[in-house]
């Protein structure tokens, strides 16, 4: 068996014990200790030209990314860039790229993260690296889901399941499971996601790790359970997260997660406001603003009351490239305000031949939406959708929906690094009432 690029060849490795101890502290919820020991691994471990020094940097950067200290995480990666280039080891290069993709994902830049993950997985395949590939699979599953490429998300969710089978444990079980649950909900509906979400929430260790690594995850799961009448289980998840947050008061991302989940469970607008102001993760912040708008809409006589929070959610979703979520918010804004005053998000510059309306129609149809479904999303009539579609076909030189999807795939590869696979599934991206 070939020696791993990250396997220290020193007779007495000083880095490995630090790395193992940092991971144990992290799993135990001692976040300050985990980061401190990982920093020791980087600075007090093996020689500066050893590959295990790069591993220490990768591990530290991943811990920092989980708690959304992404500037620090990127700075740590930069300290070993020269080492990675100098060694010229394909596996080390692949690991560095995959680690960077996870850090970029944590910043909310889904397009750039997907491009890095695609490159890293290609490097990993060429070099025979397996252990770190779950990072790339997770990044692509999440990025594809956020950008509306559902069948691609499904494909990478399946790869995450395979990673679990073959015990490639770069991700904790809760993190991978959350990706799989979201995609199951998007593909098959709420009833398929609820049992999986309930099983995850019933495992305290998974809830703790998920609360650390994914600020939007626990609120999403709590919302799912509340919508389906499982308030007690949702409350259990909130309690576990609040206890963890109390043990780690210096981590703002964890405090925001606890406030967000509790705000949903307790129907407390103040806690949701606190979460929206505190979230470092841009997608989680947008989700909190959307939850505020939903709560306001339930108790407001004036349908424009949630508009400000919806607009803030839209702006944040657009910032991250979460086009699927942005489209949903735009539809809600059209319901809450004068439709003529709501501007569609501007992405038609990617295909300058199309108007804003044509771009919105083409985007949805290329993802497998029927004319009726597209009409519902855009608050237009099916007749108007058909009219726009005829013009889109003529402008782009295509003759069918299949050819449009293919042309859109080529655009997606250039813009996001993700190649979509044609799907007829339609998903809203928000928990719906169970049926």
Does position 432 have pLDDT exceeding 50, yes or no? no
Distance CA(96)–CA(77), nearest Å, equals: 8
Q: What value does the mean pLDDT take over residues 103-107?
A: 97
pLDDT of amino acid 427: 43
**CB neighbour list of residue 283: distance below 8 Å, 6 or more residues apart:** 108, 146, 216, 316, 317, 320, 322, 325
pLDDT of amino acid 433: 46
Identify whether the C-beta of residue 426 lies closer than 8 Å to the C-beta of residue 373: yes
Distance CA(29)–CA(36), nearest Å, equals: 13
Query: What percent of the chain is modeled with pLDDT above 90?
Result: 57
Does position 174 have pLDDT exceeding 80, yes or no? yes
Distance CA(69)–CA(63), nearest Å, equals: 9
What is the token pair recorded at 391?
């013009």
Three-class SS state of 118:
helix
Q: How far is CA 262 from CA 181, 255, 282, in A?
A: 21, 11, 19
H-run or E-run covering 373:
helix 371-378
pLDDT of amino acid 413: 57
Distance CA(290)–CA(300), nearest Å, equals: 15
Model confidence pLDDT, tens digit, residues 34-72: 999 999 999 998 888 888 999 999 999 999 999 999 999
The larger pLDDT score, comparing residue 369 to residue 222, is at 222
CA 103, 109, 113, 116 torsion-angle sign: negative
pLDDT of amino acid 435: 43
Model confidence pLDDT, tens digit, residues 75-100: 999 999 999 999 999 999 999 999 99
Q: What value does the mean pLDDT take over residues 163-183?
A: 87
pLDDT of amino acid 8: 56
pLDDT of amino acid 430: 57
């Amino acid at each position: 068996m070939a020696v791993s690029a990250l396997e220290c060849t020193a007779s007495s490795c000083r880095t490995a014990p630090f790395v193992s101890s940092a991971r144990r502290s992290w799993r135990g919820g001692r976040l300050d200790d985990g980061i401190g020991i990982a920093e020791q691994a980087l600075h007090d471990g093996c020689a500066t030209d050893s590959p295990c020094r790069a591993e220490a940097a990768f591990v530290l950067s991943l811990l920092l990314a989980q708690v959304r200290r992404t500037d620090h995480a990127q700075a740590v990666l930069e300290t070993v860039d020269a080492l990675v280039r100098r060694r010229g080891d394909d596996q080390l290069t692949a690991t560095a790229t995959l680690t960077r993709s996870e850090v970029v994902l944590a910043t909310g830049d889904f397009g750039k993260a997907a491009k890095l993950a695609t490159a890293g997985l290609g490097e990993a395949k060429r070099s025979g690296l397996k252990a770190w590939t779950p990072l790339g699979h997770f990044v692509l599953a999440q990025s594809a889901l956020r950008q509306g490429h559902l069948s691609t998300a499904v494909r990478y969710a399946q790869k995450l399941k395979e990673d679990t089978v073959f015990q490639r444990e770069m991700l904790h079980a809760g993190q991978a499971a959350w990706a799989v649950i979201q995609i199951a909900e998007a593909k098959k509906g709420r009833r398929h996601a609820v049992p999986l979400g309930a099983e995850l929430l019933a495992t305290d260790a998974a809830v703790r790790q998920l609360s650390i690594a994914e600020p939007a995850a626990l609120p999403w799961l709590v919302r799912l359970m509340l919508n389906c009448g499982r308030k007690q289980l949702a409350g259990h998840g909130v309690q576990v997260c609040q206890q963890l947050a109390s043990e780690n008061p210096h981590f703002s991302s964890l405090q925001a997660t606890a406030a967000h989940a509790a705000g949903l469970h307790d129907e407390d607008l103040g806690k949701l406001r606190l979460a929206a102001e505190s979230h470092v993760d841009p997608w989680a912040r947008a989700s909190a603003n959307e939850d505020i708008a939903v709560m306001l809409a339930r108790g407001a006589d004036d349908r424009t009351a949630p508009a400000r929070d919806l607009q803030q959610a839209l702006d944040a979703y657009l910032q991250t490239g979460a086009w699927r979520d942005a489209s949903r918010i735009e539809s809600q804004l059209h319901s809450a305000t004068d439709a003529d005053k709501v501007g569609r998000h501007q992405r038609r510059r990617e295909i300058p031949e199309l108007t804003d309306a044509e771009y919105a129609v083409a985007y949805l149809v290329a993802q497998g939406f029927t004319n009726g479904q597209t009409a519902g999303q855009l608050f237009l009539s099916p007749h108007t959708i058909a009219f726009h579609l005829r013009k889109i076909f003529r402008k782009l030189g295509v003759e069918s929906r299949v050819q449009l999807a293919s042309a859109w795939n080529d655009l997606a590869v250039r813009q996001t690094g993700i190649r979509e696979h044609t799907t007829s599934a339609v998903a809203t991206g928000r928990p719906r009432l169970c049926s």
